[in-house]
Chains A and B, each alone.
Chain A
Amino acid sequence: MSHLAYFVAAWLFLVGLYGVVTSRNMVHLIICLSVVQSSTYVVLLTIGYRTGAAAPVFVDIPPSTPAVDPVVQALMLTDIVVEVTVMALLLALAILAHARTGELDPNRLGLMRG
């Protein structure tokens, strides 16, 4: 258990990459990319976690209560917002590429050969 969560992060990274490399559909590829990105959430979250500590919100608990690391959570928050906006850009590019060429398979979107 002690390192399980870390290994889940590595797993998500690799699985997502596998999906990207084997993808036959641009939208599928972009979603696999979001799985790759989610691996960073898991690793950050695990690094900041402390067994038995509270969430870093001191509303009903005194400020001296041991709490988990708020910094990694702030980084994750940034990361999530960044991810979704980049996904929007990628999806816009993909649907336009489809509208102009009628092609969604990344293996056949090869105008740039050579």
Chain B
Amino acid sequence: MTTLLQALILGMVAAGGLAVVLTRDPLNQSVVVSFYGILLAIMFFLFQAPDVALSQIVIGAMALPLMILLALARIRRKREPPEPK
């Protein structure tokens, strides 16, 4: 049972990595990478690494996507035409 779950999550992580790379729009990518972070966290959990899983959830699935979103907001603003003052 454990082996099966592990094989399954490994496959999902492999597919997740590919999905992150192939998502060419960074805005969509920030969502995909957040899912990918959660997948990794689940994988860590299934491989008996609760400490690492916890930090992966807070960092990979929350902090990193958040920073990406903030960066994208800044980039998007620059692209808009200047606002009337």
Contact = CB atoms under 8 A, between A and B. Distances in A.
Complex A–B touching at CB under 8 A: yes
Interface of A: 1, 4-5, 8, 11-12, 15-16, 18-19, 24-25, 27-28, 31-32, 34-35, 38, 41-42, 45-46, 48-49, 53-57, 67-68, 73, 76-77, 80-81, 84, 87-88, 91-92, 94-95, 98-99, 102, 104
Contacts, number: 118
Q: Chain A contact residues: over half helix, strand or loop, or mixed?
A: helix
Interface in B14-47: 14, 17-18, 20-22, 24-26, 29-30, 33, 36, 40, 43-44, 47
A56 B44 CA distance: 13
Given A12-B14, A73-B52, A104-B75, A45 B44 contact: yes
4 nearest CB pairs, A to B: A19-B21, A27-B26, A55-B48, A12-B17
Interface of B: 3, 6-7, 10, 13-14, 17-18, 20-22, 24-26, 29-30, 33, 36, 40, 43-44, 47-52, 55-56, 59-60, 63-64, 67-68, 71-72, 74-75, 78
Given A16-B17, A34-B33, A77-B55, A68 B68 contact: no
B48 A53 contact: yes
Contacts of B48: 49, 53-56, 67-68
